[in-house]
Amino acid sequence: MSKPGYVITIRIPPLEDCLIVASVLLLPAIFVILTVIGWRHAAKVSNATPAPNAQLVGEALNARVEALLGRMTVEQKIGQLTQYSAGIMTGPGTGREDYEDMIAKGEVGSLFNVVGAKATNHYQRVALEKTPLHIPLLFGYDVIHGEHTIFPVPLALASSFDPDLVEKVSRVAAKEAADDGIRWVFSPMVDIARDARWGRITEGAGEDTYLGSVMARAYIKGYQGDDLSKPDSVAACVKHFAAYGAPNAGREYNTVDMSELSLRQVYLPPYHAAVNQGAATVMSAFNPLNGVPATADPFTLTKILRHEWKFNGFVVSDFGAVRELINHGVAANGGIAARKALSSGVDMDMESDLYRTRLADLVKDGEMDEAVIDEAARRVLRVKFALGLFDHPYADETKPAYVATPEKRVFAREAAEETMVLLKNGRTVPYAEPILPIPKETAKIALIGPLADSQIDMLGSWGAAGNPLDAVTLRTALQSRCTWAKTQLLYAQGTDILTDSDDGFPAAIAAAQQADVVVLALGESGSAMTGESSSLTRLDLPGNQEKLLEAITRLGKPTVLVLFDGRPLAIKWAAAHVPAILEAWYPGIEAGPAVADILFGDANPCGKLPATFPRAVGQEPLFYNQLPTGRPAMDVDLSHPPTGEDKYLSRYIDESNSPLYPFGYGLSYTRFTYSPVTLSLAKISTEELTHPPKAHFFSSPEEIQVSADVKNTGSVPGVEIAQLYIRNTGGSVEEPVRELKGFERIYLKPGESKHLEFTLGFDELCYYNLDMKRVIEPTEYQVWVGGGSDASQGASFEVTP
């Protein structure tokens, strides 16, 4: 029996109806595409003003701020702008101890150097239970490279060229700080530092603007996370604004004098990167900049930070810096100092006690508009609300006390291993194997030096709440290793860090004579010679350590120099005579195991220098990305005085211009080779770099693709940090002889290759012209790709009108 059939009629609508329906359906998609293109175009071409921290502009949050602000007296508003150190002093204090009384009166908005949930909660209860408006305190602390788990110092972390590592380190620090009741960390320090005499070079990322900007973003991401209100997030504080890292003669707190071109081109970008990343707060600097103290500088604090960058967090002074305006000679008394600082853009007075004692009278006398105080209080309250302090003001006192767990130690050790830089790995006799790694079958090892067994010095400066007893020294680590390896460890301190006595030399020499390999642990005191107020006029090994080094090296034994320090040192003699040198910096609590892993080859060194090592202190400030001169000098023979044309060059007559070890330099236990560099274009116009092609509306501006291959030609796996440098000539202003514009960390097995690709677009190629505008001009660019700032594989392209 047949099945019934069905007739299906299909009606095709007129073409114009189809077009109408299609257009309606496609319009939203077209709108999204155009919007995305617009965003991409704005970000890539115009470097449009970045969005401020989104959490600080929320409608609900600001409604709460305004409602509270409307209920506050002028004295209560001023209280929010006042901060004191109620714990360990980190500067010249006020001598006050009546913090609880002032808090109860609503005269204090923030305390710092109070550590621990119990201690912070004590003061927080006073603020919440005894003040009529119940505004919580904000607790701050100098958490620079860890809270309890102390990681390598920031200069060392920059040696890793690993922003992911920095973000993870900062995340650990944020969680530990929050557990201690601290929701505000005075970090990161993003000051560009080009003078190794300055002690605080240890707290930043070194001399390079690009690297410093990358690291600045990583710190902010790590500290603040994706939501400030989460209980394990903290507000970051970008410091020290601005150009604090360029004091004359490298002397702490000294004046800074530079052109606006240098300021914008070199020193400001890391701060800007941190603000773009959403930094909640900024700390002003101690130094004067071009004759104006940073604490009272409306050009940097208002014009640049607020108007150009649209920063919407708050600014805190450095320790006592508002009062120091009197010493600078720009304020005759405390009232004028307070008025100038607040009017210029410093919202919170750290420790000077001038806002609390002077501002109300200034308003009463008509010398200051209360609206200025309102705006500063508004900014502080925004951050407190964003941190969730009004909803969750107390730290959890039930959490167990900190313990350096095995998991934390593993991470701290891995971080330290990434940061160490192998400066030299030679041989004691021709055709022998390099000194490092030390053969595991070595029978006797001599460990000598004042930093071989010093726990506190392994933490470096600004050890926060870290316990020196958590630090494992190199002696402890080597003794443990030698015990199971059946190797004899011979230890002798030899000398102190700072002494002229050579009483310990005989024991050190005797130990070295018995050993198959000698390891010398020399350098600076991490607790006393680096960090704030630790400037130097000499960069050689302190005390008589150089003398000890020479005595041991002359024995002819396979010798390794391990440097523990917080800055580049002038180690010219060591570089010429010691077979192997490892820059360990201050590695943190896992210093000893990390160094031991490197020495024995369990870890392959991969760090690169973030700051240039000089041959002599007289070369400072010394940095790789210098501007060219009209009479450039290649290295010349120094064995005789310059004569003829050699005399009239930009050079020293007693030392080479070149560094001992340049920026980006670092060796490995394997070898890496680079192919020739190729470019996607040989010519490109300024129009193409700044605007999409007119015939292709949906396109973004053109970019140059830079390509090269890197290969591990050695016998062990290793990590290489491939670096991209550029130089342009022919523009309206001088540009550096080389500038870092990209890098990539690559892990390669023996014989393995990796194809590298870097992109050069507007942001990478632009620079400031005489009008202080970011531009690209018709010019020629040279490009290099390699393992350091001395990379030799290069190519060039032309930018046409």
Residues with active-site annotation: 318
Residue 63 carries which side chain, given as an amino acid letter?
A: A
CA 184, distance to chain mean position in Å, is 17
Enumerate the H helices of 656-770 as residue ranges. 686-690, 762-765
Task: Enumerate residues 6+ apart whose C-beta is below 8 A from 487.
Answer: 442, 443, 444, 445, 481
d(CA 67, CA 7): 71
Question: Tokens standing for 265?
Answer: 């081109």
d(CA 737, CA 733): 13
Tokens 């004046």 label which residue?
255
Task: Enumerate residues 6+ apart whose C-beta is below 8 A from 387.
Answer: 138, 183, 184, 228, 229, 233, 234, 235
Tokens 């006690």 label which residue?
353
Phi and psi (nearest 5°) for 475? -60, -45
DSSP assignment string, 652-684: -SSS-SS-SB-TT--B-SS-EEEPPPEES-SEE
Task: Enumerate residues 6+ apart whose C-beta is below 8 A from 544.
Answer: 495, 499, 500, 501, 502
Q: 3-state DSSP call for residue 131?
A: coil
Please check whether residue 489 is in contact with residue 517, taking contact to mean a CB–CB distance below 8 angstroms. no
d(CA 279, CA 505): 51
CA 255, distance to chain mean position in Å, is 22
Task: Find residue 127's DSSP bridge partners.
Answer: none
| Angle, CA of 48, 54 and 59, to the nearest 5° | 120
Phi and psi (nearest 5°) for 76? -70, -35
N- to C-terminal Cα separation, the chain: 83
Q: 3-state DSSP call for residue 530?
A: coil
Q: Which element (helix H / strand E) includes 478?
A: helix 474-485
